[in-house]
């Protein structure tokens, strides 16, 4: 984020165009508001291109350091020139704001949404390989296609997806996503095109069993004995499944029984966790239930893929490490940790 020298500027009593910047704010609060304004797109309220450009290299370094996949989603409005020409630029601006709203509601809370420029937008999908990012992109495409834009009607978007690969630069990575966006345009628009390469597959294939194991850390404990015990068991079962894939490939007779045990454990754990949270009066319980339902649905989809022979190690590892552990346990679950910080439950 841009650094500002407080001696180099002054702000009026009410900052034009900047909500919530009255004279009563302290200087540090005004500096923070101005810094946010610098990296925010004035029309849509999303992060702007400058912030996007400055975010890529740090996100790549973090991805490589923690071996967590990172994907880029580029999308823009199909035939947007027709909107401006037919309805005027003011209506075109309203369309972009509405699209930003739809995208914000559709992408995951862990994703970062930017207006890259004009009618083009970008999503940094953290802890997500190209498969997970493709699902996010398809959800977005469907949401836009089903939406009626006021005064305009139906519109569509074309989307390109690329997971960061090996040691490529930010520019090289962006170019691959842009090529996929161009392919979606050339293929008829209202489509998602994915570069099906990425670090998630490289990491899954390169180093053998130990490099793929999920490692439990004390920092993952919330203080509730039931939840913590079941989280640790989830790690154990996930590692057993990864070992099974490495040893037996996708053999149904040898791998699916392990997956079924994992699936039963996940369903039981989600029910137990919801019960513990309800007992503590967790205010975001319904939203947490919806997250659980989505993960279970995805787990059953992966089970069906095992039956059909379409599942591979990369997809299984991505689901376990990225969706269940990184995005859910390490992000969504941390929201309720303060509930158990002062009064942990008795050991089980």
Residues forming the active site: 119
Rg for the chain, CA atoms, rounded? 23
Q: Output the CA torsion 54→56→59→64 (10° steps).
A: -140
- Quick one: tokens of 212? 């793929």
Contacts of 347 (CB under 8 A, 6+ apart): 225
Antiparallel, parallel or unpaired: β 112-117 and 153-154: unpaired
Nearest to 131, CA basis, from 100, 106, 163, 109: 163
Q: Which residue has the tokens 């580029």?
A: 74
DSSP bridge pairs for 160: 74, 193
- Quick one: tokens of 132? 């997970």
User: Residue 267 to residues 1, 106, 295: CA-CA distances in angstroms?
Assistant: 41, 25, 10
State the sign of the Cα–Cα–Cα–Cα dihedral 291, 295, 296, 301. Answer: positive
**DSSP annotation string for 250-274:** T-HHHHHHHHHHHHHHHHHHHHHHH
* Whole-angstrom distance, CA of residue 169 vs CA of residue 345: 48
* Whole-angstrom distance, CA of residue 301 vs CA of residue 326: 20
> Are the C-beta atoms of 27 and 35 separated by less than 8 Å?
no
């Amino acid at each position: 984020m841009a650094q500002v020298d407080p001696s180099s500027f002054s702000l009026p009593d009410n900052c034009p165009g900047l909500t919530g910047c009255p004279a009563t704010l302290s200087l540090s609060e005004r500096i923070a508001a101005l810094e946010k304004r610098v990296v925010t797109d004035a029309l849509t309220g999303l992060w702007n291109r400058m912030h996007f450009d400055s975010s890529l290299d740090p996100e790549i370094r973090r991805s490589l350091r923690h071996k967590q996949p990172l994907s880029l989603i580029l999308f823009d409005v199909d035939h947007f020139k027709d909107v401006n020409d037919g309805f005027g630029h003011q209506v075109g601006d309203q369309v972009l704001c509405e699209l930003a709203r739809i995208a914000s509601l559709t992408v995951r809370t862990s994703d970062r949404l930017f207006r890259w420029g004009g009618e083009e937008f970008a999503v940094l999908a953290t802890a997500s390989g190209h498969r997970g990012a493709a699902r996010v992109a398809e959800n977005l495409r469907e949401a836009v296609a089903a939406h009626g834009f006021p005064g305009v009607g139906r519109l569509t978007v074309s989307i390109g997806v690329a997971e960061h690969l090996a040691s490529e630069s930010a520019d090289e990575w962006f170019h691959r996503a842009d090529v996929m966006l161009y392919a979606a345009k050339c293929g008829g628009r209202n489509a998602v095109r994915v570069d099906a390469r990425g670090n998630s597959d490289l990491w899954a294939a390169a180093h053998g069993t130990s490099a793929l194991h999920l490692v439990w850390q004390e920092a993952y404990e919330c203080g509730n004995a039931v939840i913590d015990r079941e989280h640790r068991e989830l790690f154990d079962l996930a590692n057993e499944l990864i070992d099974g894939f490495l040893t037996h490939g996708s053999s149904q007779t040898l791998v699916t029984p392990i997956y079924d045990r994992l699936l039963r454990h996940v369903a039981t754990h989600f029910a137990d966790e919801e019960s513990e949270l309800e007992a503590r009066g967790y205010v975001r319980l319904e939203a947490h239930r919806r997250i659980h339902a989505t993960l279970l649905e995805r787990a059953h989809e992966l089970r069906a893929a095992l039956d059909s022979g379409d599942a591979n190690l990369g997809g299984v590892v991505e689901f376990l490490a990225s969706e269940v552990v990184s995005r859910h346990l390490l992000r969504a679950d941390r929201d309720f940790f303060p509930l158990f910080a002062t009064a942990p439950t008795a050991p089980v």
